[in-house]
A and B are shown apart, each in its own frame.
Chain A
């Protein structure tokens, strides 16, 4: 079992040349039955297991992961955390998640390197400026921090930014959330895994779920078939991101989700020159500098349905072209790594967290490409929903039913369309 990390543990282990640190979590054999199962050992699934054990006393549970924990989208994102949403349901949910982030390292006894360095959204037209002021006002009315930035503010905050008006997308102004920032993505998965494990949760890796068993009379879930045998459980939570459609289909549930590719890239490490996270809707990219000094860049979807986890070159060219316009000095950097994640894109751009139309089956999915910042909040809400068999007010609007009753949570106002976020 893991022991508490502290300066004393560091000193004690220094005496043995750091060769005797205990494993951060166990690798148990699956038991034949649990009180609940979480399918998917990414950040969301591990967080759900952690909060189920910690806040709801459900410790006889297991997380089933097809590969290794945090090897999916948790390890394939740009680590941005923010809560600058317009609509009620999303604003309150993401703000709750942001508050969990603020205490997460202490709660988990694991440094997730949460850095509230400010998230800036630049605006490039007067129309966008109006929408930004509206969003700023809606955030402030809900008690969420926000700042309206002029070009002079931007010049002071990000000296490397090209504020010239003689470019394709001249910057007009910007919206900032000072409490937004980044976190270390792997540490989030490892911290939640270690936290859940220490409360008694079994984390079972290399265990692919191949079927969901249901009671022939009531239709309720009774367990799963896996590559490591059958496991019984009366409650099952699905947190599998890009493969939500496939896993839900095992229980006969169809979802309003398409799977698309999103790419990100990192450069070689350089001295610090970016102070915040900068994103732009007009030119389609977001950029930050990691603690190691790498410039981390992401953009928009590749554009067509895919599970390949490989990105295409036109998207890379598009992102780099936009980024070098706003930050010309990155034009001489060399890029080291590129990766693509499979995004579960819903038809209104907002997630589905809640009960599915099969008794005992729950999901947290449809994260579009904003799932990382939601990790603690998603786990927290999924855990509540599984434990109480009803949604918390924070995720009461994020139902699958909303598509049937026309209560869409459509931040873009763009209609049925699987490419919003």
Chain B
């Protein structure tokens, strides 16, 4: 069971949350993307064995999305932040 630090509600059990996806930045100008760039954006993932940035949703709490940096081997969560406020590593 993960203990996930929601930036608004504090640490809560994993069961209160929904995992969204790997934190993939949306293209700033979608109309200018080539097919190749769309393919990369939609389907290809870093899938790191180690530090992973991902988005979670606090379904049974504040109903807000936020980002989490979690290790995919140890499951240790090193940071969590609201949208657009990524801490400097």
Contact = CB atoms under 8 A, between A and B. Distances in A.
A416 B44 CA distance: 10
B1 A312 contact: yes
B19 A257 contact: no
A273 interface: no
Interface stretch (B58-66, B70-78, B79-87): B70-78
A404 interface: yes
Contacts of B21: 418
B72 A307 contact: yes
Contacts of A258: 22, 45, 47
B44 A259 contact: no
A303 B19 contact: yes
A245 interface: yes
B39 interface: yes
B9 interface: no
Nearest to A303: B19
A198 B15 CA distance: 51
A374 to B, nearest CB: 21
Contacts of B1: 312-314
Contact of A347 (B14, B19, B43, B46): B43
Most buried by A among B21, B46, B47: B47
Interface string B29-72: 00000011001101111110100101000000000000000101
Interface string A388-421: 0000000000000001100000000000101000
Contacts of B22: 258, 305
A109 interface: no
A304 B55 CA distance: 10
A359 interface: no
Interface string A9-38: 000000000000000000000000000000
A403 B35 CA distance: 11
A246 interface: yes
A153 B2 CA distance: 42
Contacts, number: 63
A256 B44 contact: yes
Contact of A403 (B43, B46, B54, B73): B43
B45 A246 contact: no
A308 interface: yes
Interface residues of A, number: 23
Interface in A266-310: 303-308
A255 interface: yes
Contact of A312 (B2, B35, B36, B39): B2
A254 interface: yes
Nearest to B18: A303
Most buried by A among B19, B21, B45: B45
B40 to A, nearest CB: 8
A151 B56 CA distance: 40
A312 B3 CA distance: 12
Interface in A64-87: none
A404 B47 contact: no
A257 B75 CA distance: 19
A314 B36 contact: no
A185 to B, nearest CB: 25
B72 A418 contact: no
A259 B72 contact: yes
A312 B14 contact: yes
Contact of A304 (B19, B40, B73): B19
B45 A256 contact: yes
Contacts of A303: 19
B8 to A, nearest CB: 20
Given A259-B47, A312-B14, 16 more contacts: A243-B49, A245-B47, A255-B45, A255-B47, A256-B43, A304-B19, A304-B54, A304-B70, A305-B47, A305-B72, A307-B73, A308-B75, A314-B1, A403-B39, A403-B43, A404-B36
30 contacts: A245-B46, A246-B49, A254-B40, A254-B44, A255-B44, A256-B44, A257-B45, A257-B47, A258-B45, A258-B47, A303-B19, A304-B54, A304-B70, A305-B47, A305-B72, A306-B73, A307-B73, A308-B72, A308-B73, A308-B75, A312-B1, A314-B1, A314-B15, A347-B42, A347-B43, A403-B42, A403-B44, A404-B36, A416-B43, A418-B45
Shortest 8 CB-CB distances between A and B: which pairs?
A256-B43, A245-B47, A304-B19, A347-B43, A403-B43, A303-B19, A416-B42, A404-B39
Interface of A: 243, 245-246, 254-259, 303-308, 312-314, 347, 403-404, 416, 418
